[in-house]
Amino acid sequence: MHQPINELHRPRFIPDVTGFDPDLMYVECKHCSRPVLWNKGRTSEILQDVDIVRVELDSSCMILTHGCPRCTPGVTKFRLQVIRADEVYAEEQQTQLIAHA
């Protein structure tokens, strides 16, 4: 049984592409500046438990952890902070890099 080509490529599911996907947020340790990786969907789970308006999140937002398994071994829970990484944040980070060099 043959189907017309336009039916083969017709999407059966149209994803909701409105807004920003919080699971794409960058997560970094505030102490050692290393990226923090966690399981898929973890960011969404965390944001559901706190008072953050998801529609206000965008690609300039990131999560800072106050410690990570690499710089504080044995600790499994860390305080988190959602920030907007604007030009001021970038300048502060550059200053810290110069100070630690």
pLDDT digits (tens, 9 = 90+) for 43-70: 988 888 888 888 888 888 899 999 998 9
- pLDDT for 19 equals 75
- pLDDT for 78 equals 92
Residue 5: inside a domain: no
Domain hosting residue 52, numbered range: 19-100
Is there a contact between 76 and 100 (Cβ–Cβ < 8 Å)?
A: no
Residue 64: inside a domain: yes
Q: Number of folded domains in the chain? A: 1
Span 9-29, pLDDT tens digits: 555 555 555 678 889 999 999
Residue 53: inside a domain: yes
Cα–Cα distances in Å, from 26 out to 11, 22, 33?
Answer: 30, 9, 12
Residue 28: inside a domain: yes
Residue 9: inside a domain: no
